[in-house]
Amino acid sequence: MLIILNAHHDLVQFTLPPCSGGSTWRLMIDTNAPDDERARKFRIGNTFGVTARSLLLFALEE
């Protein structure tokens, strides 16, 4: 699991880190996105725009 918090007042770019045991991160929770945008997959090393004052939860997948 990977938790990202952005307490800043503006968008922050975050690079999804490598982790043994998986090759992709699945977005489980984004406090600034509607439910239908969740469960998207992102490859390790991809950059993700984290909106202002939000929390993201990712799960590592094989």
Encode pLDDT of 3-53 as tens digits: 999 999 999 999 999 999 899 999 999 998 877 665 689 999 999 899 999
Distance CA 5, CA 61 (A): 21
Give the pLDDT score at 24. Answer: 95
**With contact defined as beta carbons under 8 Å apart, do 56 and 3 qualify?**
yes
Number of Cβ within 10 Å of residue 30's Cβ equals 20
Structure tokens given for 19: 């982790």
Number of Cβ within 10 Å of residue 50's Cβ equals 19
Banded model confidence at residue 62, pLDDT cuts 50, 70, 90: confident
State the pTM of this model: 0.85
Give the pLDDT score at 37. Answer: 60
Give the pLDDT score at 36. Answer: 63
